[in-house]
Structure 1
């Protein structure tokens, strides 16, 4: 091979390895292209984060926990009356001959009278004879009892009152969606956990790892996998009156592209978790592992959107980003033996994207093959002119790529 041809070949190889030249087919960007950052000003910017124990620790703390959203570690203190609740009132007097108890002995056993059950009216009141309307809405039975005694103490003989909730119609819990028996039932004054309420509705219809639980309370809402409620006590919080629990089925999946096995496939694939929680190591294994003849083990990337607060905690400069969600590319080096431990602890999220770059040697082999084609057709003047233009462009690309990668090397992990 002539020295000029060799020089062109090396130029092509360097250009391919550094810039991921568009002349040759490939499944995505090259390793150094992702590490070096984006040179196209019209492209979407992203933050590059190398996975370390500190990164894993930060992400582990940022998983959604219902206790963090609602702050409920104790059951509701009491059940309060609401409009429509049916209330029972029994009044006792210290002796006969009072306001409600006849003076004739033996007419009735005991010195008490039970009033007919009544609903809390639209204005939030109940009615007691010889007393003004009693405010009941939003109050507990002892509070209503004291109001009745206060209203009758100057007319009845040392009155005492027992107020009971006969039929609960407002302090309800609703469980609906993908459960066996959707229901709306009264809240338990003794307190019950989220799983208790779901059990009262018959439990999920499926095995559970594809199920999600949404809890809505007082205008706040949070969603976690059903498995997170089962296995993490911080999510099995106490339910409160008027909570709405919605169970729905949505299989968790991730996308995998690049130099992965894919179970015999030659392109990307969408893979289900088939569990409520998997790690990056498990996701790579489910995708067939790294292809021994293509993959660069030092170029395993995971694409995900993180909140601005989390991105800043990870060390991403968010000044160039608009909006609350920051595109982040995580890098795991499987050439490093510790990289497998990192991948084993790195939790996947629904709709994550995994990409594995081709090895530089694979791209170089493509370049060599192409160069042999260039040399073989050099006698054709038209093809030779086209090849000369291609090589010129490759040389120009090499220069710009080397400068860009060198400039971005200090920012890459």
Structure 2
């Protein structure tokens, strides 16, 4: 009699627990393929679900276009010998007299005027020559001007002009560089790449470095790698330029049966779907369904129309791109399909995973039922 009661109690508990497992959703990382496809416009949903092929890949291969406008590109290199307001000059005057020179002491034929600064209006003051406009002149041009002014006061003066520092033409370099600071534009540092080298170089990975230059009210930016590979992007600098080196801020979200679920920054200028998956540790081998790799994106109307072969869509469209890695060209499509900023890469769980979880839950509940039945039996 006790044996019958024990079996009946265990059966009742097992049935109750199995019913509970069936009624409650088992834990999972997100929607399955059927649920995603149910959200398609074709099934009264609000997203366009598109299988990726070579045509779709070409239509969606849009990357941010960086570069400098014509005002940057057409600016010529600053003459390294041009004098500017704020510069420091050294003037040396040789007088062809033995006694009573104009600038020096008796018997002193050479007079050195060191650390002569060009004022904010571009002028310098030289004894017996007065205020002289120096800004905009080359050292040789200024020499000729001073020679004419002093020639009437001392016989055959010989003058040299040397530009000591180019602080009148400076740029600021900040961000991810080794040496942030304000640097003069000098003969070796008249272009963007040479100024970056002067600042000590880039302090982050070159593949994700963006160089931004602001001049007046205009801003342009380029990838660091493009700057080194394309001489046409190595623009000439101007005084007052602000150079900032920053890390690429683009990122995508990885969810589902992947090695990691997180917000993932880009590690290169372009990132394919297969590279994005690899970047988060690949597919989880015990969970992932390689036929269910999805990319969720809000697509501009122009691209959405091209992908769908339409012309009537307006505004951003919700798009779900489907990649099946088991297809003959699946891996190639994933390799060529580009991920963009803000994308969500989601990998569904394989169908058997839910069965495994169900079996595990039932097995666990069966064990619990045995324990409860044993308790009931011993209590009887």
Structure 1 length normalisation: TM-score? Answer: 0.55
Q: Is it true that 1:284 corresponds to 2:277 in the alignment? A: yes
Are 1:30 and 2:36 an aligned pair?
A: yes
Deviation at 1:71, TM superposition (A): 2.0
Q: 1:174 aligns with which of 172, 175, 178?
A: 172
TM-superposed deviation, 1:344: 2.8
* Aligned equivalent of 2:122: 124
Cα deviations by residue, 1:298-351 (Å, 9 ceiling, x for unpaired): x74352666x99889989859833xxxx56848465476556445434544444
Match of 1:392 in 2: none
Q: SS at the partner of 2:160?
A: strand
> Contact between 1:226 and 1:276, CA under 8 Å: does it hold in 2?
no
Question: How has the CA–CA distance of structure 1 residues 284 and 317 changed in structure 2, closer, same or farther, with 3 Å as cutoff?
Answer: farther
- SS, match of residue 275 in structure 2: helix
- What is the match of residue 408 of structure 1? none
Aligned counterparts of 2:147 and 2:330: Cα–Cα separation in 1: 73
CA contact (8 A) 2:177 2:199 kept: yes
Distance 1:86 1:333, change over 3 A: same
Whole-angstrom CA distance in 2 between matches of 1:221 and 1:49: 39
Deviation at 1:283, TM superposition (A): 0.8
Q: Distance in 2 between matches of 1:273 and 1:141?
A: 50
Q: In structure 1, what is the Cα distance between the partners aligned to 2:70 and 2:342?
A: 24
Query: How far, CA to CA, are the matches of 1:142 and 1:37 in structure 2?
Result: 80
Contact 2:210 2:247 in 1 (8 A): yes
Residue matched to 1:352: 343
Per the alignment, residue 262 of structure 2 pairs with 269
Give the RMSD, CA atoms, in angstroms.
5.2
From the superposition, tell whether residues 309 and 26 of structure 1 become closer, same or farther in structure 2 (CA, over 3 Å): closer
More moved, 138-147 vs 328-337: 328-337
Please tell me whether Structure 1 or Structure 2 has the larger radius of gyration of its CA atoms.
2
Do the aligned partners of residues 158 and 311 (structure 1) sit closer, same or farther apart at CA in structure 2, a change above 3 Å counting? Answer: farther
Give the match for residue 320 of structure 1. Answer: 314
* Separation of aligned partners in 1, 2:150 and 2:60: 62
Flag the 1:334–1:39 CA change in 2: closer, same or farther, 3 A. Answer: closer
SS at match of 1:190: helix
Moved more, 327-336 or 124-133: 327-336
How far has the Cα of 1:185 moved from its partner? 2.4
Deviation readout 1:124-153 (Å, 9 max, x if unpaired): 211234445322334443443454456556
Is there any run of 5+ residues in structure 1 with no aligned partner, and where?
Answer: 1-24, 367-413
* 1:303 corresponding residue in structure 2: 297
CA contact (8 A) 1:173 1:187 kept: yes
| 1:253-268 map, 5 Å | 253-257=251-255, 261-263=257-259
- Would the alpha carbon gap of residues 233 and 348 (structure 1) be closer, same or farther in structure 2, given more than 3 Å must change? farther
**1:208 CA drift (Å):** 5.1
Question: Which secondary structure state, in structure 2, belongs to the residue aligned with residue 344 of structure 1?
Answer: helix
Tell me which of 47, 62, 66 is aligned to 1:64: 66
Give the equivalent residue in structure 2 for 1:13.
none
Q: Are the equivalent residues in 2 in contact too, given 1:49–1:329 (CA < 8 A)?
A: no
1:88 aligns with 2:86: no
Equivalent residue number for residue 78 of structure 1: 80
- What is the total number of aligned residue pairs between the two structures? 317
SS in 1 for 2:278: helix
SS of the aligned residue for 1:117 comes to: strand
Please give the alpha-carbon distance, in whole angstroms, between the structure 1 residues aligned to 2:212 and 2:277.
29
1:236/1:54 CA distance change after superposition, 3 Å: farther
Shift of 1:195: 4.7
Task: Give the Å deviation of 1:282.
Answer: 0.7
Output one character per residue of 1:265-302: Cα deviation in whole Å (capped at 9) or x when no partner.
7xx532344456532221133353498875656x7435
SS of residue paired to 2:187: coil
In structure 2, the gaps of 5 or more residues are 1-29, 356-380
Would the alpha carbon gap of residues 201 and 117 (structure 1) be closer, same or farther in structure 2, given more than 3 Å must change? closer
Deviation string, structure 1 residues 149-186 (Cα, Å, up to 9, x no partner): 56556666566653321233222232223444323222
Contact 2:94 2:159 in 1 (8 A): yes
Structure 2 Cα separation of the partners of residues 62 and 241 of structure 1: 29
Deviation of the 1:201 alpha carbon: 3.1
